Amino acid sequence: MHVIHTQNELIKTLKTLPHIAFVPTMGNLHEGHIKLIQEALKKTKHIVVSIFINPLQFNSKEDFKNYPRTLEKDLSMLEGLNVPYVFVPSEEDILDQLETTEIHLPPITNDLCGKFRPGHFNGVATIVCKLFTLIKPDIAFFGKKDFQQLFLIKALVKQFSYPIEIVGIDTVRDHDGLAKSSRNNLLSEENRKKAPQLLQQLNTMKEKVIQKTSSLEEIEAQSVSALNASGWTVDYLSIRSAQSLENPLHDENQIVILGAATLGSVRLIDNIEFCIQD
């Protein structure tokens, strides 16, 4: 396994490689990341995994400081998966040489998670653009747990005409349904037991949407109240078009329900996709 630390070394190493697959991460790897890598391995043996904790996407310095840093364990895991290339740049190497290209993300950027984390997706997009430019992958893999992020990455690729196929991979879940996340490690024992309530409410909302016995607004409000009553602080539970992330049209069939809520001091996100009529 080749661990690369600088942009220049990365460019030299990858310049002659055909058909590169890219899996961007912030480290603290878990089963969700492993699934992305396994899917990438099905496409090509030339895989690059990046590990970079991006300060531009954090709204709180404390959140950035507390993000788990497990580089040695991560590298051991990647070596066990036979990943050939790992890019682990320093902040100075990446941030000091950022291009000044202006990124225009669609208006949905400022809704859902963007409404509660201003600037977050611009920070994500800035670094993803930088990594795409350096690595020049043919295909890149992202988890569907960050549904809004995946949607915006696809818009980014379209905006800059990157010749990159973006592949979304289904969310990997724990035995009780909780979506795998680096943040789960920060939950107290008591809150870890309560954490599956988020997915449970999303599924409750799904059944109500299919039954069509209440308005979408009523369904959202009922689940927000239920989670808040259980000790959560809900940012949003929202029923959207899976195609546009806008409010669904009356005849919309492909739906995604997205949620973000804080339990203790840990903010969790999740979503479920479904069709109203199969």
Query: Which of 53, 55, 72 shows the shortest CA–CA distance to 3?
Result: 72
> Distance (Å, rounded) from C-alpha 234 to C-alpha 136?
38
Q: How far apart are CA 123 and CA 272, in angstroms?
A: 25
**Alpha-carbon dihedral sign for residues 133, 135, 140, 143:** negative
Tokens of 257: 């329900």
Signed CA dihedral, 70, 81, 180, 252: sign only: positive
Report H helices in 42-178. 61-66, 71-80, 91-95, 113-116, 120-135, 147-159
Length of the chain: 278
For the record, the structure tokens of 168 come out as 């979304």
Active site residue 104: no
The tokens of 131 are what? 């990594």
Residue 239, number of CB atoms within 10 A of its CB: 21
- Residues in Cβ contact with 28 at an 8 Å cutoff, skipping those fewer than 6 apart: 67, 68, 69, 70, 74, 182, 185
d(CA 97, CA 268): 32
Those residues with Cβ within 8 angstroms of residue 216's Cβ, 6 or more apart along the chain or in another chain: 209, 239, 247, 248
Q: Which of 2, 19, 33, 120 is catalytic?
A: 33
* Count of alpha carbons within 13 angstroms of residue 57, beta-carbon side: 17
Positions marked active-site:
33
